[in-house]
Amino acid sequence: RGKCLQIILPYRMTEQDGQFEFHSDRWKNDNDVYVAETNYDEYALIHNTITTGREVRTLVKLYGRGQELRPDILERFRQYCLTHGLEEENIITFAKRDSVPHSVVKLNLGPVVKREVN
C-alpha cells in the first residue's frame, strides 16, 4: 500500500546451512524456511513451507538489495516458482516505489500453494 513495513520473526537456525524455522502463535503454524539461492550482493530467493494442522502451503519470496533486479534473476525466480508448483498467474512482482529507501529490500513473492498432509 505504498508503505514500508518491518516484520521481525523469531527464526531459529537448524543444523542445515541456510535453513531456519519458526512457530507463529498468532497464525498457529510452523514455518520451515530456507535460502534456496543467493549471491548475497543482489538477492536472496527464499522458500517457506508453512504447516497449519494438516494443511501445508508453499510461499516463495525473492528479496533484492536494490529497487530493481536483473531480468535473469527475475526469470530464475519465475522458473523456481513454476518448478515448485506455483502457477504463472499467481507469480507477483511488486512495482518499485520511489519512496522506498535503497537499503530496504524489495519483496517479490509467489503465491501460496496448498496441499493436505496425509
User: What's this model's pTM, rounded to 2 decimal places?
Assistant: 0.74
pLDDT at 95: 59
pLDDT at 107: 36
* Cβ atoms of 110 and 92 closer than 8 Å: yes
pLDDT at 96: 63
Question: What is the residue-level pLDDT of the chain in tens, covering all 118 positions?
Answer: 566 667 777 888 899 999 999 999 988 999 999 999 999 899 999 999 999 999 999 899 998 888 789 999 999 999 999 999 888 888 887 756 555 443 333 333 344 444 555 5
pLDDT at 86: 86
Distance CA 58, CA 33 (A): 10
Give, in order, the Cα–Cα distances in Å from 65 to each of 34, 48, 94, 106, 113: 18, 20, 14, 7, 26
**Burial class of residue 100 (count of CB atoms within 10 Å of its CB; 0-12, 13-18, 19+):** middle
What's the CATH fold of domain 12-90? Lipocalin (2.40.128)
